[in-house]
């Protein structure tokens, strides 16, 4: 969008909001942005523009919607957005009106936000988890996290595509594909995968289709696509953010979290998302432990910190290891002390993690449908399986529904096998896992490669991940932050910071210091494929 179009949209928004003030184009001296301009700018920069009268929420939202039309629905056709909120511009105008009346709700006032399409919105949009079984089904009310964001002034502009049923449908799934939304493409190489299941959220924010997005994670579904799309992703401590109103996999691991282009933006968004919810008992544990995470955005956060290097999560890709070894040197340069170690017992909950997810998926899905989608054509796991079989040409054309069928065959949550598996997970991921190694070496955090670079999308063989550091924190329910650490052949790679329960502020402080010292994020150029350089 050129300067004249920017000014035209700004003037139109100001008139619609009832403002008699003429909005001038921003002064280059006062506001300096990268090549992506205002659409790549962070929350604070966009807020400064609005406070100075150089931008409105309506103008900003309009520009993002135009970019979605030009980049997501045409041009490279990323296909990251599954649905646009028809009320987005109306909400933006209301935020502009409130700003004129000096009724600012907080740092996210008027900021455009995308939601993953497994997060309920009590509006005109559907909430489907990418399944045709829920296509057109509107949730009875907002998820708690959506209510929190609306109260903070965020403008919900749409829903993002995802791996159908959050990648818990098939043992041979293709991340980023759903029957409702199709395949989301990776903006760093269109023939490669975005990972999942928050694929659309990752691709959209990388491509500057909104300021912020919400992802959800059970194991890797925020941090993996964030890493692969060159973003910051935060998987919070279990219960810090309410799960109510989010189409579930498993209540023992599920959480929503921010996906953003910077640690600062992710911290501001997390602050708005957290809150105790009477409908989610896990949030009661977070009472008194929540914070204004923007207070952690200070340089020098690595000085004097002891960081464990989880060496048993290296070795999947030598080029990724080289990137992370340079990152480790950067940590030392910023004052951190590194301790080579391993996360113990991480192999002892691989099978039991899956068992727990299958049991909880069956029970939790039925509970969600009863409360948030009582008029949906499906009411439980058995109904979803039957729907997919009936509509196999659209739903099962690329891969099956093995996980759905395995979940349906499980008993209830009083089954001894389930309870034993859950106890095993908590023992080896928490007390004899992350807690043990951190206490033994008096660590502030653990670091490792988040995962491998993006792989070629393959509808025949399915996904083929290149290593992952997501499971220890996911199974333990502990916080995990990934930050861009560099690239391998033009494909982003992330550095993960993992800590003890409710250590988000500490992790954000360290991640922010690393980010500010290195600044590895590069905007995507939408190439059809990777152009290999000589090694």
Backbone angles phi, psi at 451, to 5 degrees: 175, -165
Query: The tokens 């999947």 sit on which residue?
Result: 316
Q: State whether the Cα torsion 505-507-508-510 is positive or negative.
A: positive
State the Cα–Cα distance between residues 14 and 60, nearest whole angstrom: 12
Q: Quote the tokens at residue 70.
A: 């030009």
Between the two ends of the chain, the Cα-to-Cα distance in Å is 37
Q: Which long-range contacts (CB under 8 A, 24 or more apart) does 436-440 make?
A: 436/344, 437/308, 437/341, 437/342, 437/343, 437/344, 438/308, 438/499, 438/500
Angle value at C-alpha 103, between 102 and 109, nearest 5 degrees: 110
List the alpha helices (DSSP H) in 373-441. Answer: 381-390, 392-395, 402-408, 416-426, 435-440
Q: Which of 57, 178, 189, 221 is catalytic?
A: 221
CA dihedral (514, 516, 517, 518) in degrees, to 10, reads 80
The answer to whether the beta carbons of residues 243 and 251 sit under 8 Å apart is yes
Orientation angle between helical segments 43-51 and 57-67, nearest 10 degrees: 130
Query: The tokens 């550091």 sit on which residue?
Result: 469
Q: Which of 57, 62, 131, 197 is catalytic?
A: 197
Burial group, residue 377, by CB count within 10 angstroms (0-12, 13-18, 19+): middle
Write the DSSP string, 407-425. Answer: HHTS--TT-HHHHHHHHHH
Q: Which of 54, 116, 159, 235 is catalytic?
A: 116
Active site residue 116: yes
Query: The tokens 């991340």 sit on which residue?
Result: 175
The answer to whether the beta carbons of residues 147 and 191 sit under 8 Å apart is no
- Within 10 angstroms of residue 36's Cβ, the number of other Cβ atoms is 13
Burial group, residue 98, by CB count within 10 angstroms (0-12, 13-18, 19+): middle
Active site residue 197: yes
Residues with catalytic roles: 116, 197, 221
């Amino acid at each position: 969008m050129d300067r004249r179009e920017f000014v035209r949209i700004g003037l139109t928004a100001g008139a619609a909001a009832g403002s008699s003030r003429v909005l001038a184009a921003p002064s280059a001296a006062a506001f300096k942005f990268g090549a992506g301009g205002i659409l790549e700018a962070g929350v604070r920069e966009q807020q400064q523009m609005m406070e100075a009268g150089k931008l409105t929420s309506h103008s900003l939202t309009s520009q993002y919607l135009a970019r979605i039309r030009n980049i997501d629905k045409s041009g490279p056709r990323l296909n990251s957005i599954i649905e646009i909120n028809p009320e987005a511009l109306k909400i933006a105008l209301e935020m502009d009106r409130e700003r004129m009346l000096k009724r600012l709700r907080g740092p996210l006032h008027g900021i455009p936000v995308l939601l993953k399409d497994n997060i309920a919105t009590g509006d005109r949009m559907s909430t489907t988890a990418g399944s045709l079984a829920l296509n057109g089904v509107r949730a009875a009310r907002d998820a708690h996290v959506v209510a929190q964001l609306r109260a903070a002034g965020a403008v919900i502009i749409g829903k993002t595509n995802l791996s159908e049923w959050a990648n818990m449908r098939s043992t041979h799934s293709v991340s980023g594909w759903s029957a409702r939304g199709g395949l989301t493409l990776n903006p760093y190489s269109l023939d490669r995968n975005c990972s999942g299941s928050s694929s659309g959220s990752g691709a959209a924010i990388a491509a500057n289709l909104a300021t912020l997005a919400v992802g959800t994670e059970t194991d890797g579904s925020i941090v993996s696509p964030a890493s692969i799309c060159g973003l910051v992703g935060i998987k919070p401590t279990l219960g810090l953010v309410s799960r109510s109103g989010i189409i579930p996999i498993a209540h023992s691991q599920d959480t929503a979290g921010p996906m953003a282009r910077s640690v600062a933006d992710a911290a501001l968004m997390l602050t708005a998302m957290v809150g105790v919810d009477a409908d989610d008992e896990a949030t009661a544990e977070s009472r008194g432990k929540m914070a204004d995470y923007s207070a952690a955005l200070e340089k020098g956060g690595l000085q004097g910190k002891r960081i464990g290097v989880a060496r048993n999560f290296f070795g999947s890709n030598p080029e990724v290891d080289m990137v992370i070894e340079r990152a480790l040197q950067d940590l030392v340069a910023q004052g951190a002390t590194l301790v080579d170690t391993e996360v113990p017992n991480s192999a002892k909950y691989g099978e039991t993690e899956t068992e727990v997810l299958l049991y909880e998926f069956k029970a939790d899905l039925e509970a969600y449908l009863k409360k948030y989608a009582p008029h949906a054509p499906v009411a439980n796991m058995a109904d979803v399986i039957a729907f997919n079989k009936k509509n196999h040409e659209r739903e099962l054309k690329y891969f099956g529904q093995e996980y759905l069928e395995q979940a349906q065959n499980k008993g209830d949550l009083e089954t001894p096998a389930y309870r034993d598996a859950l106890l095993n997970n908590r023992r080896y991921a928490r007390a004899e896992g992350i807690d043990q190694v951190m206490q033994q070496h008096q660590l502030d955090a653990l670091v490792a490669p988040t995962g491998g670079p993006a792989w070629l999308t393959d509808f025949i063989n399915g996904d083929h991940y290149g290593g992952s550091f997501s499971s220890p924190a996911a199974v333990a329910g502990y916080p995990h932050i990934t930050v861009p650490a560099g690239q391998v052949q033009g494909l982003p790679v992330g550095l993960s910071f993992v800590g003890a329960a409710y250590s988000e502020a500490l992790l954000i402080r360290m991640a922010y210091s690393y980010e500010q010292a290195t600044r590895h994020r590069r905007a995507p150029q939408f190439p059809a494929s990777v152009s290999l350089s000589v090694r």
